[in-house]
Amino acid sequence: MAFKVIITAPIHSDGISIVKDIAEVNILETPPLSEDILIRYIEDADALIATLGIEPVTRRIIEHATKLKIVARHGVGYNNIDVDAATEYGIWVTVTPVEELFEAVADHAFALLLCIARNICRADRFVKSRQWGVDSTKLYNFIGVGLKGRVIGIIGLGRIGQRIAERAKGFKMKIVYYDIVRKPEAEKQGIVYKELEDLFKESDFIVIAVPLTKETKNMIGEREISLMKPTAYIVNIARGGVIDQRALYRALKEGRIAGAALDVFQQEPIPPNDPILELENTILTPHIAWLTNECRRAMAVSVAEEVVRVLKGEEPRYPVNPMVKEIIRIRKR
Ligand code: NAP
Ligand code: GLV
């Protein structure tokens, strides 16, 4: 076949079938992939499907990819892709903003919030280690906090943040938010805008839903964490780089905040010697907020359709660098 497509880890078979109709597909099975490994595979590839979001697509990789036309993210976060380099080389970078993804991530954020508020994971370990019958007074170690009337502070009231707010409303929580842009529609629904500092001081649960950018990197550090109530929890389903993880670790270790539930980390997979793994007041999941059957299938189909469009010479539907259209047009002249 004329085209070659690299997929960095297996995706839903419905997506693979769509790509296989027009291209030879090479699915790499051993993530996380280093820059050198990706360079080895990408030299004669026409398209790269970047699946997990943790594989770097650097300038060096792009410079080696002489035939590459599209880097298609299987997901919406594209912080690990050098978009400027791709744009310079006339390579599309696309994402998969499917409804199923936003719903899945909002569900997971709420699952984390409920689990940390009600000590579900610790209680599960207690029962399975057969301690329940041994000393029932230990049940009081699992006293939780109710959600009704508590303040949830959402940082980033975008597609996922808004769906988290919908869930919080169902639990009768007070909802406040911080975002780079005010959201009048949400404010009409009773969601209250707060400056970041006030959100940290007032919230019982802080949920992070901003993209990782130059501006949001380490946006939550020692100072912001020091503003939190000692009874407050933090939930991160966005990107690990948004929080200074060492500062968070210290606050959790010293009991300066109640707990954290994290789906994303500064380094993924999280290194086995990371001290955060030892803490009891955390719940950690391996970047699976998006991972439902519905979302996995919808994302695979969406990413495959983007690749097929571009390889057929059409424009993609969800580019993050739309200016590539002009670059391609100038080159053709
Ligand atoms: P989105 O719709 O773009 O929402 C993000 C919100 O954050 C937007 O309202 C955005 O404002 C705002 N924002 C951007 N920069 C900001 C800043 N410096 N300060 C305050 N607010 C800022 O994105 P989304 O689809 O909800 O996704 C959010 C992130 O979640 C993704 O970027 C990705 O990293 C992460 N994610 C994680 C998973 C997972 O499995 N754990 C899955 C999907 C996504 P503007 O719209 O004005 O830019
Ligand atoms: C997943 O992390 C995504 O960015 O979609």
Query: Of 163, 167, 287, 296, which residue is the catalytic one?
Result: 287
Q: Is a pLDDT exceeding 80 seen at residue 54?
A: no
Q: Residue 157 C-alpha to ligand 1 middle, in angstroms?
A: 8
Q: Which residues line ligand 2 (CB under 6 A)?
A: 53, 75-77, 101, 290
Q: Tell me, in angstroms, the distance from the centre of ligand 2 to residue 79's CA.
A: 10
Amino acid 19: pLDDT: 98
Active-site residue, selected from the candidate residues 100, 103, 268, 306: 268
pLDDT at 166 over 90: yes
Question: For position 331, what pLDDT does the model report?
Answer: 82
pLDDT band at 135 (very low <50, low <70, confident <90, very high): confident
* Mean pLDDT confidence for 36-56: 89
Q: Which atom of ligand 2 is nearest to the CA of 77?
A: 4
The torsion region of residue 149 among left (phi > 0), alpha (psi -120 to 50) and beta comes to: left
Contact 69, 325 (CB under 8 A): no
Question: So what's the pLDDT on residue 145?
Answer: 98
42-47: long-range pairs with CB below 8 Å, 24+: 42/6, 42/68, 44/4, 45/4, 45/5, 45/6, 46/3, 46/4, 46/5, 46/70, 46/311, 47/3, 47/4, 47/5, 47/6, 47/19, 47/23, 47/71, 47/72, 47/307, 47/310, 47/311
For 320, other C-beta atoms within 10 Å of its C-beta total 18
> In the structure, what pLDDT confidence band is assigned to residue 57 with cuts at 50, 70 and 90?
very high
Q: How far apart are CA 306 and CA 74, in angstroms?
A: 10
Closest CA to 42 of 86, 7, 75: 7
Residue 150: per-residue pLDDT? 98
Q: Above 80 in pLDDT, residue 40?
A: yes
Q: How is residue 170 written in tokens?
A: 């169902």
> Taking Cα atoms as reference points, which of 124, 189, 118, 126 lies closest to residue 154?
189
Alpha carbon distance 177, 253 (integer Å):
27
3-state secondary structure at position 46: coil
Calpha distance 31→80 (Å, rounded): 14
Residue 76's pLDDT band (cuts 50, 70, 90): very high
**What is d(CA 257, CA 252) in angstroms, rounded to the nearest whole number?**
6
Report pLDDT digits (tens) over 300-331.
Answer: 999 999 999 999 999 999 999 999 999 988 88
Q: Which contiguous run of DSSP H or E holds residue 83?
A: helix 83-88
The pTM (predicted TM-score) of the whole model is 0.97
Ligand 1 pocket residues where CB is under 6 Å: 75-77, 101, 105, 156-161, 179-181, 209-213, 215-216, 237-239, 263-264, 287, 289-290
| pLDDT recorded at residue 79 | 96
* pLDDT value for 23: 97
268 included as an active-site residue: yes
Is 111 strand, coil or helix? helix
pLDDT at 1: 62
pLDDT bin (cut points 50, 70, 90) of residue 31 is low
Per-residue pLDDT tens over the stretch 282-293:
999 999 999 999
Average pLDDT of the chain is 96
Q: Which amino acid is at 138?
A: K
Q: For residue range 196-254, list pLDDT tens digits in order.
A: 999 999 999 999 999 999 999 999 999 999 999 999 999 999 999 999 999 999 999 99
Mean pLDDT of the 174-186 span: 98
